[in-house]
Amino acid sequence: MPEVQEQGVDKARFLEGVERFRETGPAWARAIRAKSATRFNELELPNRKMEDWRFTNIAPILRTPFNLVAGEAAVDVSTLAPFRYGGGVAELVFIDGQFAPQFSRAAEGVTSLNLSEALTSHEVLIEPHLGRYLNGTPNPFAALNSAFLADGAFVHVAKDAAFAGPIYVLYVNTKRDNTVTYPRNLIVLESGAKADVVESHVALDGASRYLTNSITEVAVGENAALHLYKLIHESGEAYHLATTKVRVDRGGSFKSHAISQSGKIIRNEIGVQLDGEGAHTSLHGLYMTSGDQLVDNPTAIEHAKPHCTSWIGYKGVLDDKSHAVFSGKVYVHRVAQKTDSNQLNQNMVLSDKATIDTKPLLEIFADDVKCTHGATVGRPPEELVFYFRTRGMSEAMALGMLTYGFADEVVNQIEIDPVRTRLEQFVFNKYSPIPA
Amino acid sequence: MSTTKDTIPGAEYTGTRVEQSTREIEEMANQSYKYGWATEIESETFEPGLNEDIIARLSAKKEEPAWLLDWRIKAFRQWQTLTEPTWPNVSYPKIDYQSQRYYSAPKREKKQLSSLDEVDKELLETFEKLGIPLDEQKRLAGVAVDAVFDSVSVATTHKEILKKKGIIFCSFSEAVHECPELIQKYLGSVVPANDNFFAALNSAVFSDGSFCYIPKGVKCPMDLSTYFRINAAETGQFERTLIISDEGAYVNYLEGCTAPMRDENQLHAAVVELVALDNATINYSTVQNWYAGDKTGKGGIYNFVTKRGKCQGVNSRISWTQVETGSAITWKYPSCLLMGDNSVGEFYSVAVSNNYQQADTGTKMIHMGRNTKSTIISKTISAGHGNNSYRGQVMVMPKAANARNYTQCDSLLIGNQCGAHTFPYIEVRNNTSSVEHEASTSKISEDQLFYCKQRGIGTEDAISMVVNGFCKEVFDHLPMEFAVEASNLLKVSLEGSVG
């Protein structure tokens, strides 16, 4: 692994084309862009000397000059079919980062539209939230996304409204090498509201090399509940850098499932602030790495108020020469008494060449708390393989079934049927030696 | 339980462990730091400051060979290029290294002491007061002791018995003259001079320490012990310990430390290197009871120590047990390099931080050989305004097939102004290894306290019991007298932490 990050990477290159968005949107949105561009210039580019990037070498991303997408790609309904889910639900589709109204659908009971339009039509709903949950994150790529803030999904669920069907947000990348998109999502649940959102990133071409730099901001109001599913199924050569920042109010609940299916380098950061008494969050994740993939899942939960509960459960299956990184940080403020927080990171390593770095952190300043964390790294247990062998199954089959079972523990918690079914199939095909 | 009782001839049975510890705890009841006095002793001290000239004078004072002076000067030059680490989770005002004194020694007429009778009476009294019987006739502890007072080793006991077995146990300065080939071979082989800021500083100015060599196939007949005492003001203590356990050898090593109560902070930057060759075992136990500063956080020792063991040979074993109670700041990561196949590394630790104490301590287990095993049990207790961090690294290299690690780090919080932090790093580079890590943080359970109180046990005693139980797994690995001392220390350290 190269120890030294790219020297002399020209920062100005990252901001090329930023002026294209300068004049769009309300004044405060323009201010966010300008401020973020300045902030990007102030921040150091990620390198291995920085604690947050210690194990994550993103030199290939820094080395590649990515351009903004120009022009529209012609995509028809049949090409998109395998990536969409049926049912009468709200749907927002973006092709190469640009909103595709012809594939998108609105639904009763929820406000879902693309952000650039919402910035004018729903300005009062957006202004109090947009850019407010990033809390001065030191990640320069988050600053870069804000500097290019243009479009993405805007979902708003009104007070006490429970939207039954999931809201699908689909980002499709066509074959466009060396391009970058900046999806920017904002999900706001007013008090007592409930919704499920599925954010998926897919590629039409399995070999194209592009960068997705996305931000999702989430505000969960009092007693509101959001379940966010994030499916990262990028092209095998693509890069995905994402930041999700969440604030949960009193009695609110934020659940997430983050599934990394493919992508050359994936860094999917989730930060949740429990900012009201009795708030809850549970973050689930599954990463399935192979080839020379690098998948990094930094998670952070901040217990800012008393009586909050949290759970982090991430599982990983590593194969070939892949490298996975996990860090889970639980920070308990002095006032956050009666915190109950649990964290578990389990890794199954299938190949001798794979590398796993896991870092479960606890920082606790309150005394009346219960916090635990655990991490494991290993192969499928010998005894279980033996059990299968005594019943006449080959070792390959035993390993395949055990791996499938291990990964499926995360997938089978997914409550949306079509999403779960499709993912279970994916996991099954990937690990089970039994022909489907 | 350690086998101390079997290995010490004449150790008397003094009641069951519980009886004993209850009695001792009672004695300790209303006591604060009892080693806080200073000895009025004439000593020879260098003026404050650090430069190549000071190092040359220090080296000359100790009549060191030229190669060692060169080694020191090289380390000093490397130290100048290094910066003080900022990553530990501790905060303290900047240390002015030029205002420290780098040499202080009790004055004495004769260069070499042939027997204990020649040791300064005041010194002997000092150690007696500390409960360290240097007087061989008494043979109370049945432990060979090397006592280090400020910068120099003052006395080593039981030398004769050890000599018969071929064991070399003496002060570092003596070892430089008596067995230079061993020193030259192993000095800096585990902790290189440029390893880190404090190790480099130590390498440049280390004054004395203990040296121990256990020859092939020898099981050391008694526990070896070093007792460190900081006495002089404005001095730092920079001792260096080197223990080599040759093929098939076995040794138990104990280290204790105290310092007087002073308002200003004093620096202690030691380096400990352990080398275990084929089939060798080293058990290293520390009860660290430097002065922790007063209730407001004034004074106390900065304990910035580099301890590392190298399991160089096959089937070798290094075990660290530490009880950290008395430093203003602790920055210490006793580590094991598991190079030999089937080698074993262990780390058992209790760290207490009360009042304004800060501790950032943990371990590194670097698995390089095949079938290597490591166990980490860390118990941290935070009370008052104390902050306690566990920082550990478990690294499994690609060639360390079938490596195993089990880590458990538990934190106990007493009071709502303290903090507990856990920073584990787990890095695995192959798939035949298995690594498990568990951590928990909680306060003393109300149920347990209620149960005790219901049976007429006062709150403080109840807490003391629960805390002792919490630490039991670690205390079990300490030799008997250390275990008793540790559990007493714990009681004193946590005194007043409950309202």
HEC per residue, A169-210: EEEEECCCCCEEECCEEEEEECCCCEEEEEEEEEECCCCCCE
Out of B415, B423, B431, closest to residue A349 by CB: B431
Per-residue pLDDT tens over the stretch A177-197: 899 999 999 999 999 999 999
CB contact under 8 A, B416 and A371: no
Which of A285-294, B153-162, B441-450, B463-472 is predicted most confidently?
A: A285-294
Work out the mean pLDDT of chain A and round it to a whole number: 92
Minimal CA separation from B139 to chain A, in Å: 46
pLDDT for position A6: 47
Which chain B residues touch A402 with a CB distance below 8 Å? none
CB contact under 8 A, B441 and A361: no
Which chain A residues touch B438 with a CB distance below 8 Å? 372-374
pLDDT for position B228: 72
Q: How confident is the model at residue B130 (pLDDT cuts 50, 70, 90)?
A: low
Calculate mean pLDDT across residues B283-293. Answer: 83
Q: How confident is the model at residue B143 (pLDDT cuts 50, 70, 90)?
A: low
Q: Which residue of B has its CA nearest to A349?
A: B431
Strands A184-189 and A153-157, sheet pairing = parallel
Phi, psi of B260 (to 5 degrees): -75, 160
Residue among B366, B374, B411, B406 at smallest CA distance from B389: B411
Whether the per-residue pLDDT at A423 is higher than 70: the answer is yes
CB count within 10 Å of CB B40 equals 9
B365 near B347, Cβ under 8 Å?
Answer: yes
Q: B-side interface with A, Cβ within 8 Å?
A: 87, 398, 411, 413-443
Q: How confident is the model at residue B496 (pLDDT cuts 50, 70, 90)?
A: low
- DSSP annotation of A138: -
Q: How confident is the model at residue B102 (pLDDT cuts 50, 70, 90)?
A: confident
pLDDT for position B121: 66
> Distance between CA atoms of B163 and A225, rounded to whole angstroms?
74
pLDDT for position B235: 67
> Distance between CA atoms of B397 and B276, rounded to whole angstroms?
20
> Distance between CA atoms of B43 and A112, rounded to whole angstroms?
81
pLDDT for position A73: 80
A219 near A244, Cβ under 8 Å?
Answer: no
The domain segmentation of chain B, as residue ranges, is 4-493
Phi, psi of A385 (to 5 degrees): -60, -40
pLDDT for position A11: 86
> Distance between CA atoms of B152 and B108, rounded to whole angstroms?
11
CB contact under 8 A, B437 and A366: no
Nearest 5°: the CA angle A105, A110, A112 is 50
> Distance between CA atoms of B29 and B50, rounded to whole angstroms?
43
**Cα-Cα-Cα-Cα dihedral sign, residues A158, A160, A164, A167:** positive
Tokens representing B145 are: 């002791």
CB count within 10 Å of CB B249 equals 26
Whether the per-residue pLDDT at A280 is higher than 70: the answer is yes
Whether the per-residue pLDDT at B324 is higher than 60: the answer is yes
Minimal CA separation from A413 to chain B, in Å: 24
pLDDT for position B497: 59
Whether the per-residue pLDDT at B23 is higher than 70: the answer is no
Whether the per-residue pLDDT at B202 is higher than 80: the answer is yes
Calculate mean pLDDT across residues B258-283. Answer: 85
pLDDT for position B141: 43
pLDDT for position A5: 44
Per-residue pLDDT tens over the stretch A103-134: 999 988 899 999 999 999 999 999 999 999 98
CB contact under 8 A, B438 and A367: no
Out of A351, A365, A375, closest to residue B419 by CB: A365
Out of B421, B434, B438, closest to residue A378 by CB: B434
Q: Dihedral angle at the C-alpha atoms of B47, B53, B54, B57, nearest 10 degrees? A: -110
Which chain B residues touch A375 with a CB distance below 8 Å? 424, 426, 435-437
Q: Does A377 touch chain B (CB under 8 A)?
A: yes
Q: How confident is the model at residue B230 (pLDDT cuts 50, 70, 90)?
A: low
Out of B416, B422, B426, closest to residue A366 by CB: B416
CB contact under 8 A, B427 and A357: yes
Out of A51, A352, A362, closest to residue B421 by CB: A362
Strand partners, A105: A91
* CA distances from residue A194 to A110, A112, A161, A222 in whole angstroms, order as listed: 10, 14, 6, 11
Q: Does A259 touch chain B (CB under 8 A)?
A: no
pLDDT for position B156: 66
pLDDT for position B461: 84
CB contact under 8 A, A369 and B413: yes
pLDDT for position B472: 87
The better pLDDT of the pair B125, B90 is held by B90
Calculate mean pLDDT across residues A291-306. Answer: 96
CB pairs under 8 A between A and B: 114
Q: Which residue of A has its CA nearest to B389?
A: A363
Q: How confident is the model at residue B164 (pLDDT cuts 50, 70, 90)?
A: confident
pLDDT for position B11: 41
Whether the per-residue pLDDT at B2 is higher than 90: the answer is no
Out of A55, A361, A374, closest to residue B438 by CB: A374
pLDDT for position A420: 95
Whether the per-residue pLDDT at B370 is higher than 60: the answer is yes
Q: Does A340 touch chain B (CB under 8 A)?
A: no
For helices B52-61 and B66-81, angle between their N-to-C axes, nearest 10 degrees: 150
Q: How confident is the model at residue B222 (pLDDT cuts 50, 70, 90)?
A: confident
pLDDT for position A2: 41
Q: Which residue of A has its CA nearest to B440?
A: A372
Whether the per-residue pLDDT at B251 is higher than 90: the answer is yes
> Out of B149-163, B179-193, B267-281, which region has the weakest mean confidence (pLDDT)?
B149-163
pLDDT for position A266: 97
The better pLDDT of the pair A92, B239 is held by A92
Which chain A residues touch B436 with a CB distance below 8 Å? 374-376
The DSSP element (H or E) to which B454 belongs, if any, is helix B446-454
> Distance between CA atoms of B126 and B143, rounded to whole angstroms?
18
Q: How confident is the model at residue B4 (pLDDT cuts 50, 70, 90)?
A: very low
Tokens representing B408 are: 């458990």
Out of A51, A357, A364, closest to residue B426 by CB: A357
Whether the per-residue pLDDT at B214 is higher than 50: the answer is yes
> Distance between CA atoms of B75 and B412, rounded to whole angstroms?
40
pLDDT for position B25: 44
pLDDT for position B9: 45
Q: Does A388 touch chain B (CB under 8 A)?
A: no
Q: How confident is the model at residue B225 (pLDDT cuts 50, 70, 90)?
A: confident
CB contact under 8 A, A377 and B439: no
CB contact under 8 A, B427 and A354: no
Per-residue pLDDT tens over the stretch A374-405: 999 998 888 999 999 999 999 889 999 999 99
Calculate mean pLDDT across residues A70-90. Answer: 84
pLDDT for position B136: 45
Whether the per-residue pLDDT at A26 is higher than 60: the answer is yes
Q: Does A277 touch chain B (CB under 8 A)?
A: no
Tokens representing A182 are: 């900046």
pLDDT for position B327: 83
Whether the per-residue pLDDT at A149 is higher than 80: the answer is yes
Whether the per-residue pLDDT at B28 is higher than 80: the answer is no
Phi, psi of A266 (to 5 degrees): -125, 130
Interface with chain B: mutation pick from A323, A367, A384, highest number of B CBs within 10 Å: A367
Out of B421, B436, B443, closest to residue A363 by CB: B421
CB contact under 8 A, B428 and A349: yes
Q: Which residue of B has its CA nearest to A373?
A: B439
pLDDT for position A436: 47
The domain segmentation of chain A, as residue ranges, is 11-276, 389-436
Calculate mean pLDDT across residues B151-162. Answer: 68
Out of B416, B427, B435, closest to residue A367 by CB: B416
